Chain A
Amino acid sequence: MNTPILEMKNITKEFPGVKALNNVSFQVAEGEIHGLVGENGAGKSTLMKVLSGVYPHGEYAGDIVFGGRVQNFRGINDSEKAGIAIIYQELALVPEMTVYENIFLGHEIKSGFLIDWNETIKRAGEMLKRVKLNINLAEKVKNLGVGKRQLVEIAKALSKDVKLLILDEPTAALNEDDSENLLDLLRDLKKHGVTSVLISHKLKEVIEIADSVTVLRDGQTICTLDAEKEEVSENVLIKHMVGREINNIYPKRENRQLGEIVLSVENWSAYDPALGKNILKNINFHVKKGEIVGFAGLMGSGRTELALSIFGNPDGYNISGEISMLGSKKRFNHPQDAIRAGLAYVTEDRKGDGLILIQDVRQNITLANLKEIANRGVINDNSEVKVANEYRVSLNIKTPTVEQKVSNLSGGNQQKVSLGKWLFVKPSLLILDEPTRGIDVGAKYEIYTIMTRLVEQGMSIIMISSELPEILGMSDRVYVVSAGKIAGELAIQEATQEKIMHLATNY
């Protein structure tokens, strides 16, 4: 190993009741790309928060040596000054500002007391060249897609003379092309001497790009593998991450028997007045009882909008077309109508519009079906706790009690709470939007097992997913959505990654 640029020694960080990091050591060599993997809750994010000063010096035990000096960061400002930049899953750009304003936000180029806009624009242009992004500098960030925003964020980090770039799940929200683009960029930056740490659940990516990989499990360092000397494969990593080997992560289904058509949607079109354009065009599809129907497609192809427009249309699109459930026509003017008719929608963004983070597990699970545990509008505490505990056990939600705030749970457990909330409305058709985004292999397997159990019991599932292996592994039938249209329907036997991608990119 080259000289380390970063050494974190014996880091221990405790929260009330939990040891999030237990004597963790983490070394990154200068000029390498270092993968950091581990299940959700393994401590990756906490470790990065310690490194960046979000948890200031004194709130953790252990030493951080960066660039040869022991560092006592007291905030993000300190770590940024030292040359560490972290790019989080939730991007930190100001949507209403332009690209160049965002790049130099917080370290504006000044002449005297004033901002030197000419120099700013020139330098911003140079930064965009370095990240190979060819867009109008004066574009507002809100008009950019997720992939481009990510690159702007990296450009921003580069503008601060970053020495160590840390990316937390950078490709979670990106499609294959954008992901590939980003990985190329990391390789390119490496040539220019920028060291990167890549935190990702997408093990293929990590294996493809990383020079060495550190695995965390339960707040401890399990191992650091050197890609040149040791075998780094998915199986090896998964084994270290979960402490067991998962041979087939898609569970076998017992009786794959499909019943009558539960939901059928015909000539479905939607116009979004906010965007001023048609977002869904003449969509037709159906779902049978006991079936898992996969909806594949690129980001922005209209899958989430399709789900929302069916699920009571909360965003107020102008809609035409027909929904029938079990043969009878339905109109849903509000999510409440859809829920009553037996639909449930587990959102893509569990923190944004799925869960109420400041409330506890119990309150979140019962929220969509309070009438079930209430008598004349008065909530029965006993029934509520009972219900919450049932889902805690059956979904294996890891929490000390159901009175724990959801914000304190890991991503995978939050997703299970979200799932529990929608199972409690006892739907006949469950819509899952990116059900395993940003969660670890172990929790993924659990979610797949739950899905299998549900369809075996006769529920139907629509699964929107950008992960093709998941679409292929779980679905009975696949619709490919592209530019607001159904580009194709594939029986699972004939579906391949190539066919799906071909349809998805075929406008």
Chain B
Amino acid sequence: MSFLQNARKLLQQNIREYGMYIALLVIMAIFTITTDGIFISSRNIVNLVNQTGYIAVLAVGMTLVIVIRHIDLSVGFLGGFLGAVAAIAMVQWHLPVYVAIPLTLVLGILAGIITAFLVAQMKIPAFVATLAGWLIYRGAILVVTESTGTIIIPDKTFNAIGNGFIPDFANIGILPGVHKLTLIIGLIGIALLIIGEINSRRKKQAYNFEVLPMEMFVIKLVFISALIGGITWLLAGYQGLSWTAVVVLIVVLIYNFITTQTVLGRHIYAVGGNPEAAQLSGINVKKITYIVFGSMGMLSALAGILFASRLQSATTTAGSLWELDAIAAAFIGGVSPAGGIGKVTGSIIGALVMLSLTSGMNLMGIGISYQYMARGAVLAAAVIFDVATRNRAH
């Protein structure tokens, strides 16, 4: 087969997965042109990543919730509320940050377990149960911020999560003005990725599974390496990797590992693919529901912490519309509304698409009203594309 035929076949078979990446690149390219390059500047990309943080974290959790055929509308205000709780824990209860953060995460897990109890035990549809949560946590934010209004957080460590950057080596003379630790992390990442891909290709060949033709495989590796390398270079050119980016990376790595490599992950997708069959296969569907909503609660707490840290304060409006951004990110990222299908990494791309749109349109000075419309149109387009390509794959 010729090179072009190969390329076309590859694109056709994987159009859904590659489509997302292509869309993200196109959106970024358009904004780079319309903003005379400001969009792709190191400073803006760093800001973009930091702004995506809390939505990306929520989108990861939401992916699993939607995969098991549920939804969680309460994550936004739960996050906002727990952000305020973290602030109160440090400001009013004088707890150290190392206690306040784990405490908040545990509260998040508890909140998720309550949702799971309503959904799994009481058999209340998740839409209704979490709508109730949405209202309750909205009220709870107002209650805890009633007397003080916005709570200013003075703790430097806490605020660094949303605003700080990882340290660099002492200036050793080479590459001045470039964040060297960030570069090294990026290079290690690329190396691990290439080794992993080569290993997995070898394994597949050993089983006579279909693998990419060699030249396509190389192009794919070069493409992904260039992408990571490019982003690393941009980040390193400013102040390096932010702590927010580190948090998001860790969350994605852990969840990607769980969903693709572990028994737990397989059980989650089985429950989403066919709950009755999963049950009869000895999978405890209730337990899976508890785990998934518990994880969603924990990630909501994490999102609340990221947001409060970024603003260095807990506000009365924190959390509004986060849930919808997270759900939109998951759907743009290819999660199937029917359950059983969806990747954590896809949802991260979805979150980046949503935030790139906001950031780019802000830079262009487009009004908020049109921004909402544009984001709605992109969401609709993404899902239409997803459905169309899914049907053809059958």
Contact call A359/B269, Cβ cutoff below 8 A: yes
> For residues 264 through 285 of chain B, which have their beta carbon under 8 Å from a beta carbon of chain A?
264, 266-267, 269-270, 273-274, 276-284
Contact call A367/B266, Cβ cutoff below 8 A: yes
Given contacts A358-B341, A401-B209, A353 and B264 within 8 Å (CB-CB): no
Interchain CA distance A354-B209 in the complex, whole Å: 26
Contact call A363/B266, Cβ cutoff below 8 A: yes
Q: Which residues does chain A contribute within 8 Å of B276, judged by CB atoms? A: 352-353
**Chain A residue nearest to B12 in the complex (CB):** A16
Q: Which residues does chain B contribute within 8 Å of A382, judged by CB atoms? A: 203
**Chain A residue nearest to B210 in the complex (CB):** A401
State whether the Cβ of A371 lies closer than 8 Å to any Cβ in chain B.
yes
Contact call B284/A334, Cβ cutoff below 8 A: yes
State whether the Cβ of B207 lies closer than 8 Å to any Cβ in chain A.
yes
Pick the residue among A336, A358, A370 that contacts B340 (CB under 8 A). A358
Given contacts A353-B277, A354-B277, A378 and B270 within 8 Å (CB-CB): no
Contact call B273/A335, Cβ cutoff below 8 A: no
State whether the Cβ of B369 lies closer than 8 Å to any Cβ in chain A.
no
Given contacts A336-B284, A367-B270, A314 and B277 within 8 Å (CB-CB): no
State whether the Cβ of A379 lies closer than 8 Å to any Cβ in chain B.
yes
Q: Which residues does chain A contribute within 8 Å of B270, judged by CB atoms? A: 356, 359, 363, 367
Interchain CA distance A314-B207 in the complex, whole Å: 37
State whether the Cβ of B174 lies closer than 8 Å to any Cβ in chain A.
no
State whether the Cβ of A133 lies closer than 8 Å to any Cβ in chain B.
no
Contact call A314/B203, Cβ cutoff below 8 A: no
Given contacts A353-B280, A358-B340, A377 and B273 within 8 Å (CB-CB): no
Given contacts A311-B280, A335-B280, A389 and B207 within 8 Å (CB-CB): yes
What range describes how many residues of B lie at the interface?
20 to 34
State whether the Cβ of A355 lies closer than 8 Å to any Cβ in chain B.
yes
Interchain CA distance A353-B208 in the complex, whole Å: 31
> For residues 336 through 372 of chain A, which have their beta carbon under 8 Å from a beta carbon of chain B?
336, 338-340, 345, 347, 352-359, 363, 366-368, 370-371
* Nearest-Cβ distance from residue A65 to partner chain B, whole angstroms: 28
Contact call A355/B277, Cβ cutoff below 8 A: yes
Q: Which residues does chain A contribute within 8 Å of B273, judged by CB atoms? A: 356-359
Contact call A379/B210, Cβ cutoff below 8 A: no
* Nearest-Cβ distance from residue A393 to partner chain B, whole angstroms: 13
Q: Which residues does chain A contribute within 8 Å of B269, judged by CB atoms? A: 359, 363
A-facing mask of B252-266, CB < 8 A → 1, else 0?
Answer: 000000000111101
> For residues 302 through 358 of chain A, which have their beta carbon under 8 Å from a beta carbon of chain B?
311-312, 314, 334-336, 338-340, 345, 347, 352-358
State whether the Cβ of A184 lies closer than 8 Å to any Cβ in chain B.
no
Pick the residue among B209, B262, B280, B394 that contacts A314 (CB under 8 A). B280
Q: Which residues does chain B contribute within 8 Å of A334, judged by CB atoms? A: 282, 284
**Chain A residue nearest to B274 in the complex (CB):** A356
State whether the Cβ of A390 lies closer than 8 Å to any Cβ in chain B.
no
A-facing mask of B185-214, CB < 8 A → 1, else 0?
Answer: 000000000000000000100011110000
Contact call B261/A357, Cβ cutoff below 8 A: no
* Nearest-Cβ distance from residue A337 to partner chain B, whole angstroms: 8
State whether the Cβ of A94 lies closer than 8 Å to any Cβ in chain B.
no
Interchain CA distance A381-B261 in the complex, whole Å: 8
Given contacts A359-B270, A389-B207, A401-B210, A377 and B262 within 8 Å (CB-CB): yes
Q: Which residues does chain A contribute within 8 Å of B203, judged by CB atoms? A: 381-382
Q: Which residues does chain B contribute within 8 Å of A403, judged by CB atoms? A: 209
Interchain CA distance A353-B277 in the complex, whole Å: 4
Interchain CA distance A368-B341 in the complex, whole Å: 19
B-facing mask of A205-241, CB < 8 A → 1, else 0?
Answer: 0000000000000000000000000000000000000
* Nearest-Cβ distance from residue A333 to partner chain B, whole angstroms: 10
Interchain CA distance A401-B209 in the complex, whole Å: 7
> For residues 394 through 416 of chain A, which have their beta carbon under 8 Å from a beta carbon of chain B?
401, 403, 407
> For residues 59 through 84 of chain A, which have their beta carbon under 8 Å from a beta carbon of chain B?
none
Interchain CA distance A407-B274 in the complex, whole Å: 13
* Nearest-Cβ distance from residue B228 to partner chain A, whole angstroms: 24
**Chain B residue nearest to A338 in the complex (CB):** B282
State whether the Cβ of A385 lies closer than 8 Å to any Cβ in chain B.
yes
Given contacts A353-B274, A357-B273, A370 and B210 within 8 Å (CB-CB): no
Given contacts A353-B274, A353-B276, A403-B209, A378 and B284 within 8 Å (CB-CB): no
Contact call A367/B261, Cβ cutoff below 8 A: no
Interchain CA distance A353-B276 in the complex, whole Å: 5
Q: Which residues does chain B contribute within 8 Å of A138, judged by CB atoms? A: none
Interchain CA distance A354-B282 in the complex, whole Å: 12
Interchain CA distance A312-B285 in the complex, whole Å: 14
Q: Which residues does chain A contribute within 8 Å of B281, judged by CB atoms? A: 335, 339, 367-368, 421
Q: 7 tightest CB-CB pairs across the interface, nearest first? A: A353-B276, A356-B273, A336-B282, A368-B281, A370-B263, A339-B282, A356-B274
Listed A/B pairs (9) with beta-carbon separation below 8 Å: A314-B280, A339-B281, A340-B282, A356-B278, A358-B341, A367-B266, A368-B281, A389-B207, A401-B210
* Chain A residues near B (Cβ < 8 Å): 311-312, 314, 334-336, 338-340, 345, 347, 352-359, 363, 366-368, 370-371, 374, 377-379, 381-382, 385, 389, 401, 403, 407, 421, 425
Extra pairs beyond A356-B340, A367-B281 (19, CB < 8 Å): A312-B282, A334-B282, A340-B282, A345-B280, A347-B280, A352-B276, A356-B274, A358-B340, A367-B270, A367-B277, A368-B281, A371-B263, A374-B262, A379-B266, A382-B203, A385-B207, A401-B208, A401-B209, A421-B281
